[in-house]
Every structure is written in C-alpha cells, then in structure tokens.
Amino acid sequence: MNDSEIIARYFQRNEAALDETAKQYGAPCRRLALRLLDNPQDAEECFNDALLRLWETIPPAKPESLFAYLSTIVRNLACDRLRAQNRKKRGSNAVQLALDELAECLPAGESTEAALDSRELGRAIEAFLDAQPRERRIIFMQRYWAMLSVREIAAMYKLNESTVKSTLKRMRDRLAEYLKQEGFL
C-alpha cells in the first residue's frame, strides 16, 4: 500500500491505517527513537505516541511523504523525552555529545533549545545546507538530525572516521561563519 492510500484511510478514520503505517514504517522509526533514547521500551512508547499523534493530525494534515511526517513526529517526541530525562539526571550520552558539538556554532540565547526553536534560524540553517554539496549535507544530517555516531556514518558511506570527523568540523565552522554573516552570531 502506498502513502496516498494509507493517508486516504486516515481521512476515512479507518484504523487499518495505523496497522499499515506500523507495518511499513515501524522499524525505521523505532530505530530512530532508539538511537536518540538508547532504551528499547522508551523507543517503542515513543513510536506508539507518534501513531497516536498521526491519528490526531491526519486529517486535517495531508503530508506528501508519510514517512517524513511520521519520522519527524518520532524524532520530536524522542527529543522531548530525552530533554525530560536529562532534566532529571544530567548524564552524558551520545546524543548530548552531538548536540554539544552543534551548540558550538549556534547563537547563544536563553538556551540552545530556544535558539533551535527559532524559525528564522531554522530557515538560515536550511539555506546553508541547501548550498552544501550533497555528500557533506547528508553526513551533517545523519549526525545532527538522525543522531548517528561518527562510526555509523563512516561505515554507511565507506569513509574513514577521521574523514567524517573533519567533514563535520568544517561544516560546523562554515555554519558558524554563515550564521555570523546572517546576523545570528
């Protein structure tokens, strides 16, 4: 079943849409949540919450890509859960490390989270990434959106870890320079 057929079922309020969504997109969405949360039960709960959010938002939303829409919901829910967990205990983890790397090139405000929520900043980062070569853009997104480790990215694209690290460092430096030019820093 393709996305438009599944979305049509959501519009009909047919619960089979949830089953089909879970069947087609459950595994990659659970992996995304697991990478962020590092806990299978939390990842499963996050995915189930995302299905509920889909049910509540379609209709009126009619996404072009159901997977992109769902994975964004999953990621946002996982990030919310991660922030809540980190408020309870300030432990170190891989996601926090990636966010700390990225924080080096973001403007300081009340908090990094507040800066990331800024729509103008989001548009500027999007414009910056659109201007980058495809390979660099993908590496950047895999690290800071999908929260893959440097090792996972290197293996995925058959690169040395040092190549991935240096690419990410250069991208962060370029992003910081771009944001200075745009008046964000």
Q: For position 49, which CATH number holds?
A: 1.10.1740.10
As a whole number, the mean pLDDT across the chain is 84
Indicate whether 81 and 151 sit together in one domain: no
Average pLDDT over residues 54-69: 92
Indicate whether 109 and 175 sit together in one domain: yes
**Taking a C-beta distance cutoff of 8 angstroms, is the pair 92, 102 a contact?**
no
Q: Please, what's the b/e burial string for 149-185 (b: 16 or more CB within 10 A of its CB; e: otherwise)?
A: bbebbbeeeebeeeebbebbeebbebbbebbeebebe
C-alpha–C-alpha distance, residues 185 and 179, integer Å: 6
Give the rounded percent of residues in the chain with a pLDDT score beyond 70: 82
pLDDT recorded at residue 148:
82
| pLDDT bracket for residue 104 (50, 70, 90) | low
Nearest to 4 by CA among 28, 15, 26, 20: 20
116: domain range?
94-181
Indicate whether 75 and 101 sit together in one domain: no
pLDDT recorded at residue 115:
44
Say how many domains are in the chain.
2
Query: Residue 166 gets which letter from DSSP?
Result: H
pLDDT recorded at residue 146:
79
Lowest mean pLDDT among 54-68, 70-84, 95-109: 95-109
Q: Is the pLDDT of residue 87 over 80?
A: no
Boundary-marking domain end, from 67, 88, 109: 88
Indicate whether 12 and 84 sit together in one domain: yes
Q: Is the pLDDT of residue 6 over 90?
A: yes
pLDDT recorded at residue 88:
58
The CATH number covering residue 153 comes to 1.10.10.10
Indicate whether 102 and 77 sit together in one domain: no
**Model pTM score:** 0.60
Indicate whether 110 and 49 sit together in one domain: no
Indicate whether 13 and 80 sit together in one domain: yes
Indicate whether 73 and 106 sit together in one domain: no
pLDDT recorded at residue 162:
93
Indicate whether 152 and 170 sit together in one domain: yes
Residue 172, CA distances (Å) to 47, 64, 105, 136 in order = 30, 30, 6, 11
Lowest mean pLDDT among 23-32, 43-52, 54-63, 81-90: 81-90
C-alpha–C-alpha distance, residues 159 and 144, integer Å: 18
